[in-house]
Amino acid sequence: MADKVTLKDVISLVELNKARAEQSFRLNTLTDAKPEEAEAMKSRLAELQNKIERISQTIKKTGAIIAMPNEKEIARLNDSLSSCTAQDMLDAMKKKSGDTYSIMVARGALMKKNFENRENIAKLALLTAGLQKDVKEAIAEAVRAGSFDSPIPLLDSDEKAGNKIAALLGRLGIIAECTGGALVKATNGLELAVQLHNRTVWVTPELHDKLNANLAKMREISPRIQLKNAVRQIKQFDDEEEKEFAAIQGEYLRLLKEQDELLKEFSEEADVSITID
């Protein structure tokens, strides 16, 4: 029976790697742990490692390369911390100052950003899995470095796939475009981010302005609705007040519908997957 690797599988691996790093850090800095606490943490770390190895082996069969943005800079910061003792790092966190603390903050910020971007990291890994080995390795290297200078030829890949790869690179902070059958460094990204409630959506620059205008109107109306609702709890509205309340609610619903229409083209992609024969 053929195995299938889904987008959720790759995202899960990114999440597990983050959990492993956190557990390892806790274990290394827990200088006053009781023996049973340390053993429990070691057991949890071993459990995470087993899960990571199992999922990694399956994903490896697809040819996918999971590259983390700015991986090289994170490695450099890790090297800088390697000479610090557990007590040094604990003292730095307490004082919230000094060189060690600055390195830890910089490293933490990059890792946090990568975790927030885990879905796009996973999509890029699966989208490029079928490319020629040297091409996907060049793309992965660009991601790890956080930039690239030389064009990356996509060989026989179609332009649509090339544009998707360029868009995902842009979401990871590497501004690129597909032109002449190659990925090249670009000045402007193909998409812009918009913070929508509790998620980030990526849209064209043209749609970005329309969506932001829509969101600004919603932010202006929302407090008015909340205030009217609060007043309505303690007094009965007359006909005029009810009409005004209904009008505000109607405008909010209209804006919600407009938002749905604007985002229809950019709704979340279906779960990506690769079947392994």
Based on the domain organization, do 126 and 173 belong to the same domain?
A: yes
Token duo for residue 251: 């405008």
In a domain, 53, yes or no: no
The amino acid occupying position 95 is: K
Full residue range of the structural domain in which residue 176 is found: 118-190
Mean pLDDT of 102-114: 94
Mean pLDDT of 16-28: 88
Based on the domain organization, do 207 and 235 belong to the same domain?
A: yes
Percent of the chain's residues with pLDDT above 90: 57
pTM listed for this prediction: 0.81
H or E element that contains 264 = none
Token duo for residue 228: 């009217």
In a domain, 135, yes or no: yes
Last residue of a domain, one of 190, 216, 238: 190
Q: pLDDT at residue 276 above 60?
A: no
Mean pLDDT of 19-40: 79
In a domain, 1, yes or no: no
At which residue do the structure tokens 């959720």 appear? 8
Mean pLDDT of 105-112: 94
In a domain, 106, yes or no: no
In a domain, 275, yes or no: no
Token duo for residue 61: 């069969």
Mean pLDDT of 196-222: 89
> Which 3 state secondary structure label does DSSP give 276?
strand
Last residue of a domain, one of 138, 167, 190: 190
Based on the domain organization, do 168 and 143 belong to the same domain?
A: yes
Q: Any idea which of 7-16, 130-139, 236-245, 265-274 has the lowest mean pLDDT? A: 265-274
Percent of the chain's residues with pLDDT above 70: 92
68 CB burial (10 A radius; 0-12, 13-18, 19+): buried
In a domain, 110, yes or no: no
Instruction: Give residue 270's pLDDT band: very low, low, confident or very high (50, 70, 90).
Output: very low
- CA 110 to CA 107: how far, in whole Å? 5
Last residue of a domain, one of 170, 190, 210: 190
Query: Can you name the residues that pair with 153 across neighbouring β-strands?
Result: 182
pLDDT digits (tens, 9 = 90+) for 213-227: 999 999 999 999 999
Phi, psi (5° rounding) for residue 4?
-130, 130
Phi, psi (5° rounding) for residue 270?
-65, 160
In a domain, 183, yes or no: yes
In a domain, 130, yes or no: yes
Based on the domain organization, do 155 and 205 belong to the same domain?
A: no
Report the number of distinct structural domains present in the chain.
2
Residue 275 C-alpha from the chain's centroid: 24
Q: Are 212 and 194 in contact (CB under 8 A)?
A: yes
* E strand map for the chain: 3-6, 152-153, 176-179, 182-185, 192-196, 199-203, 273-276
Based on the domain organization, do 170 and 133 belong to the same domain?
A: yes
pLDDT digits (tens, 9 = 90+) for 77-101: 999 988 888 888 889 989 999 999 9
Give the model's pLDDT for residue 158: 73
Name the average pLDDT for the chain: 88
Give the model's pLDDT for residue 193: 87
Q: pLDDT at residue 29 above 70?
A: yes
Q: pLDDT at residue 277 above 80?
A: no
> Which 3 state secondary structure label does DSSP give 27?
helix
pLDDT digits (tens, 9 = 90+) for 142-173: 999 999 889 999 866 677 888 899 999 999 99
At which residue do the structure tokens 């609705």 appear? 225
Q: Are 214 and 255 in contact (CB under 8 A)?
A: yes
Which of 168, 137, 175 is closest to 153 using CA atoms?
137
- In the chain, what are the helix, strand and coil shares in percent, each to the nearest 5? 65, 10, 25
Give 21's contacts (C-beta < 8 A, 6+ positions apart). Answer: 111
Determine how β-strand 192-196 pairs with β-strand 273-276: unpaired
> Which 3 state secondary structure label does DSSP give 6?
strand
Instruction: Give residue 33's pLDDT band: very low, low, confident or very high (50, 70, 90).
Output: low
- CA 92 to CA 111: how far, in whole Å? 19
